[in-house]
Amino acid sequence: MAQQFPLHEHPHRRFNPLTGEWVLVSPHRTKRPWQGKVESTARDQRPAYDPGCYLCPGNQRAGGQQTPAYTSTHVFTNDFSALLPDTPDTLVEDGLLRARGESGVCRVICFSPNHALTLPEMTEDNLLDVVTVWQLEYAELGALPHINHVQIFENKGDVMGCSNPHPHGQIWAQHSIPNEVAKKTARQAAYFEQNGSSLLADYLAQERKEGTRILLENAHFVALVPFWAVWPYEAMIIPVRQQQHIGQINEAEKTSFVSILKGLTIRFDNLFQTSFPYSAGIHQAPTDGAQYPGWHWHMSFYPPLLRSATVKKFMVGYEMFGESQRDITPEQAAETLRKLSGVHYREQAGT
């Protein structure tokens, strides 16, 4: 990118072509990824099995159901689902007041029977099981007649509101296409119609040529800090070959995806030597039966930690009333993450 205007020195706004929104970047406020002392937190030593955990194999769940003695990735319908399959599609209108019933299905995915293992510490074979379940659930839920979108996501860590420490993710499948996906659908469709190519494929080609925000890459996937990142150490995983959803990745690509997923999450943990909290989600094409030639699926990670394991970025004040803002640039964040070891800090310490 031309540097007639040095982005690393001056306040500026960056455009997100996937959503059509802007983020304010203020690099003059801190020229380094963080300031002050960085302290390691006490290592989180959880047992492999917790008799009080309702997600551990064989235990009773919070809703009273019995969790089977599962030995691999396990899926079940959420006992306290935010969406229910039998909700009527009723429209309620009263002047400017408008509401509509929303139906759907919510499921929980226990990544591993081991209570202590998060994604970066799982083996690649175990991670392949997780990705396979994501593929199966997207296909199964997306085929239901009342489901038009399937959202796969993970909230990791209590700072992100995770209600149970057992490593798990969720799937919310619903009748409507949610706001963020609707924005990305429209933006990608418009770009594809105008250029005849995928927005993210063209963006990825530009990023790989420049290289400053690339974290990891292999034959089939790239992990990077997006140019328009909002969160301090936000990252994306993008398939090199354009695909509308994860069901389209072949076995070789699945192995590559797992390698990148493990490598990225290890570096997150290594940054502050803590089990790094984040919200991660896979955005992919809606399942309403329409064709989406412009869609290019991707996985985004939004971690809140800023300067240490105990200092987080809050979206308050200006961010709530104006627009998103960040101090460290995406380039600084990428450089910091890229330099970290690909060996998990616990393994380095022999714990």
Helix, strand, coil in percent for the chain, rounding step 5: 30, 25, 50
Q: Which residue has the higher pLDDT, 278 or 309?
A: 278
Show the DSSP H helices in the chain as ranges.
124-142, 179-195, 199-210, 251-272, 318-321, 330-338, 345-349
Please report, in angstroms and rounded to a whole number, the separation of the first and last CA atoms in the chain.
43
pTM comes to 0.94
Mean pLDDT of the chain: 93
Mark whether 168 is an active-site residue.
yes
Q: Which CATH number fits domain 43-349: 3.40.30.10, 3.30.428.10, 3.20.20.70, 3.30.70.120?
A: 3.30.428.10
Q: What pLDDT score was predicted for residue 3?
A: 59
**Choice among 74, 149, 166, 168 that is catalytic:** 168
Residue 103: DSSP 8-state: B
Q: What pLDDT score was predicted for residue 41?
A: 55
For 113-142, what is each residue's pLDDT tens digit? 999 999 999 999 999 999 999 999 999 999
Residues with Cβ < 8 Å from 206, sequence gap 6 or more? none
E strands, the chain, in order: 12-16, 21-25, 74-77, 91-94, 97-100, 104-110, 149-156, 168-174, 214-217, 221-224, 235-239, 278-283, 298-302, 305-308, 311-312, 325-326
Read off the pLDDT of each residue in 238-248 and give the average, rounded to a whole number: 98
Q: What pLDDT score was predicted for residue 39?
A: 45
State percent of the chain over pLDDT 70.
Answer: 95
Q: Where are the domains of the chain?
A: 43-349
Token code pair at residue 336: 């910091």
